[in-house]
Amino acid sequence: MELGMIGLGRMGGNMAERLRQAGHTVVGYDHNPDVSDVSSLPELMERLKAPRAVWVMVPAGEATRATVDSLRDALEPGDVVVDGGNSHFKEDQEHAQLLAERGIGFVDAGVSGGVWGLKNGYALMVGGSGDNVTHLMPIFEALKPEGDFGFVHAGEVGAGHFAKMVHNGIEYGMMQAYAEGWELLEASDLVKNVPETFRSWREGTVIRSWLLDLADLALDADPDLAKLKGYAQDSGEGRWTVQTAVDLGVPLPVITAALYARFVSQQEDSPAMKMVAALRNQFGGHAVET
Amino acid sequence: MELGMIGLGRMGGNMAERLRQAGHTVVGYDHNPDVSDVSSLPELMERLKAPRAVWVMVPAGEATRATVDSLRDALEPGDVVVDGGNSHFKEDQEHAQLLAERGIGFVDAGVSGGVWGLKNGYALMVGGSGDNVTHLMPIFEALKPEGDFGFVHAGEVGAGHFAKMVHNGIEYGMMQAYAEGWELLEASDLVKNVPETFRSWREGTVIRSWLLDLADLALDADPDLAKLKGYAQDSGEGRWTVQTAVDLGVPLPVITAALYARFVSQQEDSPAMKMVAALRNQFGGHAVET
Amino acid sequence: MELGMIGLGRMGGNMAERLRQAGHTVVGYDHNPDVSDVSSLPELMERLKAPRAVWVMVPAGEATRATVDSLRDALEPGDVVVDGGNSHFKEDQEHAQLLAERGIGFVDAGVSGGVWGLKNGYALMVGGSGDNVTHLMPIFEALKPEGDFGFVHAGEVGAGHFAKMVHNGIEYGMMQAYAEGWELLEASDLVKNVPETFRSWREGTVIRSWLLDLADLALDADPDLAKLKGYAQDSGEGRWTVQTAVDLGVPLPVITAALYARFVSQQEDSPAMKMVAALRNQFGGHAVET
Amino acid sequence: MELGMIGLGRMGGNMAERLRQAGHTVVGYDHNPDVSDVSSLPELMERLKAPRAVWVMVPAGEATRATVDSLRDALEPGDVVVDGGNSHFKEDQEHAQLLAERGIGFVDAGVSGGVWGLKNGYALMVGGSGDNVTHLMPIFEALKPEGDFGFVHAGEVGAGHFAKMVHNGIEYGMMQAYAEGWELLEASDLVKNVPETFRSWREGTVIRSWLLDLADLALDADPDLAKLKGYAQDSGEGRWTVQTAVDLGVPLPVITAALYARFVSQQEDSPAMKMVAALRNQFGGHAVET
């Protein structure tokens, strides 16, 4: 089928490529004229036959909101918009409402797969009405990995990004678990070959996983990770996972600890630990570093 | 080659079976005469040609120590003992010393794989001298999964169980990460089909893993886990991971949080929360449940 | 000076009493006619001379919003409203805006002190313009404890409740720290007299505090806290502290752990631990409780 | 009464001074001849009338063990040793056994108070037999703060240091709670005067405490703690608290989080976060800092 793709960056560009390989017609639009198939949103609309399907693959937040606003004006009743970015599930509900006022459908699609998705397929978690999701199934089928897994229609609008948010929260926890285990192995004199230990875990263990395969690749290239700084950004989903859980009264000790470890890694120095140092100095005359 | 196997429970019995399928000769000894091939340790020794290899697969702690003590008397110089149980790495070093005094070798082997190991193979993390490990490689080759992974000679005596201990620590963190994500999905009204969401994650996602496959199996059998109580035992390795990390000054926020979640699950009521309730009542006149 | 007090519950009633003891004129209004000085909001307005000061001491959220809406209609330009409840600092900013449209001033006041405030005074953290705060200083002076401490003008509108929110977050962490220490003492056979140990800490130690004094009172009345259930509610401020910190990228491991301990205490059973139990059963055939 | 004091550093020296001010006779022995009253242990023994009481105030671990060994040889049956250092409760039990073999008594005394103890008194938590503790009560009475609090006979040998260990664990949690609250206030634009906010909390609030008084002193001297590095050492007790709790199956989320925050503060860079960065780079092509 025909699809408009707005945003042809690393993710959007590869997804368009995978869709074309599957025989779909993708008309891409991007601010960067070198990769864009059309020069304007109106031109994109002209190139697509109604009812149009337009996949938005731009950064969450202001960029997505601006794109939704533009599509609200440019599209026609019966068209449908897919937000494949990392929007908050509450934004989805606002966007769906804005578009619904013009008779335009909305589906949110959480997309996992990163740079490996072009080859392996993209796991999709989608939210929206049954009609809209059914209409878009040929696109979802082409994007998803082969086999029984990798796609779920999780619920109404927002459910796709909610599921993807939780997926990312779990991802934070898993990555931190491997990272802690690696640090502990490195800290001990007993285990002589840490990269080989990680590699051995790739088969037969309880902890085998794709992330572990990636850890092996990383250690293969840099056995002590000496080239890296212990600094990890966090995306919105990790924060939203924690905030949503707190709203719902759900304890997330592991996922939150993983998020906080990233926060700490982002700090030049820890204000809290200055206070701890100050207090130790006050009551015990403990030496402080200045 | 020939191997004595002491302890023919769920793990030892299946491992003996897998070894026999690979063409090795296994003479098993167990307190349970229904499964034992011999009626006494001396008989086991007689049935094995020197230099003997004896794999100990009994509960860590007193049972393993008692077995090592018996083998110290029963074996001869040049024989070698493998401890495939879940001993602490410091116990390994004590056991190796006890046996070395009689000229008996020692190898510790952390074994992962659970009830699936018979079919899929057992991941092995071993510690000991190069000579002893090389001597036992035919056994390790038969037990491990096919392919490039699933075996590591991690270092000297203790390194195998150290690596397995860390493996289990990571396992705690990963399981808790999935568990928290599942609880959050269940707590929200937005995601209508939580089991299908978990199933979809099995391919194409960053969090795909064997544990996730098992979560899918569990949810397939009991979609809300309504038949289970939220109670999880902990084995020694989780505790040792945390205690070892504290000894080494290594922060393990995620693995520790996962361990503590199990501790809480084991309590009928939380003493700490009684105190919190008492304090709230004292300063605020907040209602307490009695 | 003259003050209208809306909400004469445990907090509002005691505060009115403390103000009267200091010589102020307080006209109270409450839904409960038994404690109310007037029968309606208009009557309250009539009883106060312009420019009026009205202190709102009702539950945060809908009740406070409704009261602000009513006061917006009932008050006159030049009057000032104090919200002494536990509103979110962002609500303060909305309320201030709503009232400012009618020329009515707004001050937010975080109030600590609980049932002890009538006698000891109420610690106050206030936010608002310098003019409004200065105008209300006689009231603040009467409410606050004697001495140099117990009052801060923390910043513009919202700063008072922000400071109180953080105060409560710290409170969560402190209470949990004492509670954990108490549980550990109780769990050991070594310390024979736990209540006496807590009592002894009230002087000369690094951890002496008012909360510790309260712990002593509680243990004095019920040495093992046997009459209490390990169940602790959480108020909004603990949740907001964590969510605000996540917004700002500030790691709060201790405060969050304390909040999550309350969440867990509120659960009949832990969904997450059901999943952990299910996974253990899948890979290891570990026994589960059903 | 008469007391030998071994170790005249910051703690031991001040304690000797406080005891002398109370009328006791203290003969001090230290490696540093400038502060020592005697030139050798035998001379110390000669100067004290039997039955002797000797207070050991040297670093925990090897120094304390060596001192106990020396006293075992130098003292006579009926004498009693007090270990006022920060020994582990299991070491106490070993030391008591070593001394008991010679008929020498042993009491462990956890001491809190730091540099303020000389003036305010030292809180004491002691373990040992009733006879030994009663015999030493004049010393304890002189050291402890005035009033009803500041001393507990917690149980048999080891109970004193156990109680002090838990005291320090609680201290870790409390300090981190204040530190996190301070960091959050600093991170927000809303609260303009963070030191004044902390100061205001010293009276009337739920979180008032001696540590809060110290925080005020620290902020008074350095309002943004700009002169300090966010680095905090940890002493043995924090680690032992966590390890003991893990042994007993007691969850300590807050105290452990506080300990781990110190571990992280001690690291130049976080190995774990290198692994997280490596994994993010592997699956998402996320930029890493090198």
> For the segment A153-208, what is each residue's pLDDT rounded down to a tens digit?
999 999 999 999 999 999 999 999 999 999 999 999 999 999 999 999 999 999 99
Nearest-angstrom CA–CA distance, B244 and B97: 21
Give me the mean pLDDT over the C115-119 stretch. Answer: 89
User: pLDDT-derived band of residue A235, with 50, 70 and 90 as boundaries?
Assistant: confident
Helices within A75-190 (DSSP H only): 89-100, 117-120, 130-143, 159-187
Nearest-angstrom CA–CA distance, D54 and D72: 11
The pair of structure tokens assigned to B33 is 């005469």
Q: C123 and D258: CB-CB below 8 Å? A: no
Please report residues of C whose CB lies closer than 8 A to that of B225.
271, 274-275, 277-278
Contact between B193 and A133 under an 8 Å Cβ cutoff? The reply is: no
Of the residues A164, A183, A192, A274, only one is catalytic, namely A164
pLDDT score of C124 more than 80:
yes
Active site residue A196: no
Q: Which helix (H) or strand (E) holds D119?
A: helix D117-120
Contact between C228 and B289 under an 8 Å Cβ cutoff? The reply is: yes
Pairing outcome for strands C53-56 and C80-83: parallel
Q: Which of A90, A239, A263 best probes binding to C when mutated, by most C CB atoms within 10 angstroms?
A: A263
- Determine the Cα angle at D140 with ends D134 and D143, to 5°: 170
User: What is the CB neighbour count within 10 angstroms for residue A176?
Assistant: 33
Q: D230 and A272: CB-CB below 8 Å? A: yes
Of the residues C17, C94, C141, C171, only one is catalytic, namely C171
Nearest-angstrom CA–CA distance, D246 and D257: 14
Q: Which helix (H) or strand (E) holds D246?
A: helix D236-248
| C169, closest residue in chain D (CA to CA) | D181
Percent of chain C with pLDDT over 70: 98
Residue D68: HSE in the Cβ half-sphere, 13 Å Cα cutoff: 30
Encode pLDDT of D68-96 as tens digits.
999 999 999 999 999 999 999 999 999 99
Q: A3: helix, coil or strand?
A: strand
Q: Which residues of chain B have a pLDDT value below 50?
A: none
Radius of gyration of chain B (CA): 23
Dihedral of alpha carbons B258, B263, B266, B268, sign: negative
Give me the mean pLDDT over the C168-174 stretch. Answer: 98
The pair of structure tokens assigned to B220 is 């397939």
* All chains having 3 or more CB pairs closer than 8 angstroms to chain D: A, B, C
| A243, closest residue in chain C (CA to CA) | C243
User: pLDDT-derived band of residue A113, with 50, 70 and 90 as boundaries?
Assistant: confident
Give me the mean pLDDT over the C202-229 stretch. Answer: 96
**Model pLDDT, residue D225:** 97
Percent of chain A with pLDDT over 70: 98
- For every residue of chain B, which 3-state class applies, written as one string? CEEEEECCCHHHHHHHHHHHHCCCEEEEECCCCCCCCCCCHHHHHHHCCCCCEEEECCCCCHHHHHHHHHHHHHCCCCCEEEECCCCCHHHHHHHHHHHHCCCCEEEEEEEECHHHHHHHCCEEEEECCHHHHHHHHHHHHHHCCCCCCCEEEEECCCHHHHHHHHHHHHHHHHHHHHHHHHHHHHHCCCCCCHHHHHHHCCCCCCCCEHHHHHHHHHHHHCCCCCCCCCCCCCCHHHHHHHHHHHHHCCCCHHHHHHHHHHHHHCCCCCHHHHHHHHHHHHHHCCCCCC
**Model pLDDT, residue C127:** 98
pLDDT score of A115 more than 90:
no
Encode pLDDT of B80-104 as tens digits.
999 999 999 999 999 999 999 999 9
Please report residues of A whose CB lies closer than 8 A to that of C172.
none
Encode pLDDT of C25-82 as tens digits.
999 999 999 999 999 999 999 999 999 999 999 999 999 999 999 999 999 999 999 9
Nearest to D239 among B246, B259, B261 (CB): B246
Q: Could you list the pLDDT tens digit for every one of the 290 residues in chain D?
A: 999 999 999 899 999 999 999 999 999 999 999 999 999 999 999 999 999 999 999 999 999 999 999 999 999 999 999 999 999 999 999 999 999 999 999 999 999 988 889 999 999 999 999 999 999 999 999 999 999 999 999 999 999 999 999 999 999 999 999 999 999 999 999 999 999 999 999 999 999 999 999 999 999 999 999 999 999 999 899 999 999 999 999 999 999 999 999 999 999 999 999 999 999 999 877 656 66
pLDDT score of A231 more than 70:
yes
Nearest-angstrom CA–CA distance, D251 and B260: 5
Q: How many CB pairs under 8 A join A and D?
A: 200
**Model pLDDT, residue B6:** 98
**Model pLDDT, residue D53:** 98
**Model pLDDT, residue A116:** 86
Contact between D184 and C172 under an 8 Å Cβ cutoff? The reply is: no
CA distance C112 to chain D (A): 5
Question: Is this complex's ipTM strictly greater than 0.90?
Answer: yes
